[in-house]
């Protein structure tokens, strides 16, 4: 049914870069065979899933939305893909995304933008707009995203879906094409909070292949989602992440959701996290610094595209690399490599990267202080609803502002979830409600999220 739906609507939505009908149907048949043989099956066996194209999949093209990886077919599976397959979940295909996960609109994909199913002239968020749009347009019941600064939560917010960025280290990064390794985290994109918890549980857990993987039991996310109990819970409203700069309709839906939590027995306090006002600036130094290092491996020798420079008879490896990178990377990727290389260069390192790391510490301290007073923190996920395609392309800074409320969680490694809070009055488009919890306490996201559904 999902493959039929993709055939019917994806020409307009463009959520998928690659659909693997044959592989998905074979995986579904295998589940049927095991069921008939009376073998024990996972609760999600047979439930298909779409995977963001930044996650490597054995035998399936993986481009990370970039021309430089066009035609690359990975020889191995990411750990999370191994876990999806082990649970018997057919992989429907790979979803569109901003190139190397850099963006908030999926317009920086080398393969053209994805369209928001609510209004095809609007953006589906980014970088994981493909996964969110696939779920929102019923082309997949579940999808995998990755979130470095908001790329699961902001697309969820603007497409009326649910998305979780787990605690850093909670889900293996082995086999994710790294954007910024100290910030990246994969997580679920779904239509309900319970679905997100179920998928979270499948992909989470210790992995010796990821040196930052947490060696501890997976938080009881499914149990929390089923109980949906917030009585006695302290909910902290982050003063710096509400009010001015937030679209009135988004703010109004947020206020109503908070009232709903009070009615359900939660206690609400206001907390202040003054360093959050510097989160965006710190992120745009830490992230590009890591990007400039991580993307050095695309050297025209090891993967994908190779472009020979014009007019040179016997080009050196360096000339081939320069020609390939010039043709293979898009403008946003180049912008960030240049920013990162500059921030890390000798003489500037302390002033830029060093200062950003100190701000990062202050943000973690702000979280720690806030979580003394509150069990979870809440805010609107994104300051606005989905904007029209093209509206922010000429102004990178206004694009970056989309993640003002989501970035602090990545910098501190804490988990966050976005769920729909309703439709904004001005434009009738979905608004998102963000919940943040202390590191390793991901179950609290689901307790609060499920109470709001
Ligand atoms: N929009 C943010 C950026 O462009 C976040 C991206 C992400 O989370 N992958 O960096």
Q: Are residues 119 and 185 in the same domain?
A: yes
pLDDT by 10-residue block (mean), the chain, 453 residues: 98 98 98 97 98 98 97 96 98 98 98 98 98 98 98 98 98 98 98 98 98 98 98 97 92 98 98 98 98 96 92 96 97 97 92 96 98 98 97 92 96 98 98 98 98 96
How far is 295 from 277, CA to CA, in rounded Å?
29
The three-state (H, E, C) secondary structure of 264-284, written as one string: CCCEEEEECCHHHHHHHHHHH
Whichever domain contains 199, its CATH number is 3.90.1300.10
Phi, psi (rounded to 5 degrees) for 76? -150, 165
Phi-psi region of 189 (alpha: psi -120 to 50; beta: other; left: phi over 0): beta
Q: Which residues contact 255 (CB under 8 A, 6 or more apart)?
A: none
Rounded Cα gap, residues 336 and 183, in angstroms: 15
155 Cα: distance to centroid of ligand 1 (angstroms): 11
Quick check: ipTM above 0.95? yes
Cα angle at 93 between 87 and 414, to 5 degrees?
Answer: 65
Q: Is 127 a catalytic residue?
A: yes
Query: How remote is the CA of residue 179 from the centroid of ligand 1, in Å?
Result: 9
pLDDT for res 243: 84
Residue 342's pLDDT is what?
A: 95
Q: Nearest residue CA, atom 5 of ligand 1? A: 149
Cα of 52 vs centre of ligand 1, distance in Å, is: 14
Nearest to 141 by CA among 5, 320, 304: 5
What are the tens digits of pLDDT across the range 194-230?
999 999 999 999 999 999 999 999 999 999 999 999 9
3-state secondary structure of 86: helix
Extract long-range pairs of 67-70: CB within 8 Å, 24+ residues apart.
67/110, 67/305, 67/327, 67/328, 67/329, 67/330, 68/298, 68/303, 68/304, 68/305, 68/324, 68/325, 68/328, 68/329, 69/177, 69/298, 69/303, 69/304, 69/305, 70/110, 70/304, 70/305
Q: 341 with 387, same domain?
A: no
- CA of 162 from ligand 1 middle (Å) equals 17
**Cα–Cα distance, 291 to 177 (Å, whole number):** 11
**Atom 10 in ligand 1: which residue has the minimum CA distance?**
102
Domain shared by 38 and 117, yes or no: yes
Residues with CB under 6 Å of ligand 1 are: 101-104, 127, 147-151, 179, 287, 403
Distances, alpha carbon 230 to alpha carbons 254, 269, 439, in Å: 17, 14, 19
Q: Give every CB contact of residue 361 below 8 A, 6+ residues apart in sequence.
A: none
Domain shared by 261 and 128, yes or no:
yes
Atom 4, ligand 1: which residue's CA is nearest? 103
Residue-range definition of the domain harbouring residue 347: 279-356
388 and 307 housed in the same domain: no
Residues 194 and 293 in one domain: no
What is the per-residue pLDDT for 389?
98
* pLDDT at residue 415, rounded to an integer: 99
One domain for residues 20 and 143 = yes
Q: Tell me what pLDDT residue 172 has.
A: 98
- How many angstroms separate the CA atoms of 404 and 244, rounded? 12
Same structural domain, 46 and 161: yes
* Residue of 95, 107, 149 to test ligand 1 pocket, by largest number of atoms within 8 Å of CB: 149
Q: Are residues 255 and 300 in the same domain?
A: no
* Residues counted in the chain: 453
- Is 418 an annotated catalytic residue? no
Residue 227 and residue 364 in one domain: yes
The pLDDT of residue 249 is 97
Residue 140 shares a structural domain with residue 265: yes
**Catalytic, out of 52, 94, 165, 392:** 52
Confidence at residue 62, expressed as pLDDT on a 0 to 100 scale? 98
Residue 189 three-state SS: strand
The tokens for 137 are 């347009």
In contact, 231 and 264? CB cutoff 8 Å: yes
Which one of the listed residues 127, 137, 379, 418 is annotated catalytic? 127
- Kindly state the helix (H) or strand (E) to which residue 196 belongs, with its residue range: helix 193-203
Indicate if 253 and 363 belong to the same structural domain.
yes
**Cα angle 362, 364, 365; round to 5:** 60
The active-site residue, picked from 109, 131, 137, 151, is 151
The answer to whether the peptide bond before residue 401 is cis (omega within 30 degrees of 0) is no
Mutate which of 53, 66, 103 for ligand 1? The one with the most ligand atoms within 8 Å of its CB, which is 103
User: What spacing in Å lies between the alpha carbon of 66 and ligand 1's midpoint?
Assistant: 15
């Amino acid at each position: 049914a999902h493959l039929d739906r993709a055939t019917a609507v994806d020409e307009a939505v463009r959520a998928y870069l690659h659909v693997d009908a044959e592989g998905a149907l074979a995986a579904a048949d295998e589940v049927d065979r095991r069921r008939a043989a009376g073998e024990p099956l996972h609760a999600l066996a047979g439930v298909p899933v779409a995977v963001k194209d930044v996650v490597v999949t054995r035998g399936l093209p993986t481009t990370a939305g970039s021309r430089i990886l066009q035609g690359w077919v990975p020889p191995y599976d990411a750990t999370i893909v191994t876990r999806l397959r082990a649970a018997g979940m057919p992989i429907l295909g790979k979803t569109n995304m901003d190139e190397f996960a850099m963006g908030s609109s999926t317009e920086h994909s080398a393969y053209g933008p994805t369209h928001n199913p609510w209004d095809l002239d609007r953006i589906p968020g980014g970088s994981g707009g493909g996964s969110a749009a696939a779920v929102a347009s019923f082309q997949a019941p579940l999808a995998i995203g990755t979130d470095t600064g908001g790329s699961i939560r902001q697309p969820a917010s603007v497409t009326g879906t649910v998305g979780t960025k787990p605690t850093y280290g909670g889900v293996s990064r082995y086999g994710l094409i790294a954007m910024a390794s100290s910030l990246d985290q994969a997580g679920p994109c779904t239509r309900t909070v319970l679905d997100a918890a179920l998928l979270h549980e499948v992909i989470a857990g210790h992995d010796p292949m990821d040196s930052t993987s947490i060696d501890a039991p997976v938080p009881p996310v499914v149990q929390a989602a089923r109980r949906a109990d917030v009585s006695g819970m302290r909910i902290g409203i982050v003063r710096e992440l509400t009010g001015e700069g937030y679209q009135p309709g988004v703010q109004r839906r947020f206020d109503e959701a908070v009232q709903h939590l009070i009615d359900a027995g939660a206690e609400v306090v206001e907390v202040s996290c003054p360093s959050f006002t510097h989160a965006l600036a710190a992120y745009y130094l830490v992230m590009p610094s890591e990007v400039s290092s991580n993307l050095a491996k695309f050297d025209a020798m090891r993967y994908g595209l190779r472009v020979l420079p014009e007019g040179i008879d016997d080009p050196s490896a360096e000339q081939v690399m320069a020609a390939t990178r010039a043709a293979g990377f898009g403008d946003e990727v180049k912008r960030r490599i240049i920013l990162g290389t500059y921030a890390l260069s000798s003489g500037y390192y302390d002033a830029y990267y060093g200062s950003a790391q100190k701000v990062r510490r202050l943000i973690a301290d702000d979280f720690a202080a806030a979580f003394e007073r509150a069990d979870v923190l809440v805010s609107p996920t994104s300051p606005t609803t989905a904007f029209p395609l093209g509206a922010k392309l000429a102004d990178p800074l206004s694009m970056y502002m989309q993640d003002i409320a989501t970035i602090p969680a990545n910098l501190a490694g804490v988990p966050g979830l976005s769920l729909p809070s309703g439709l904004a009055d001005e434009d009738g488009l979905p608004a998102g409600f963000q919940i943040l919890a202390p590191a390793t306490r991901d179950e609290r996201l689901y307790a609060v999220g499920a109470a709001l559904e």
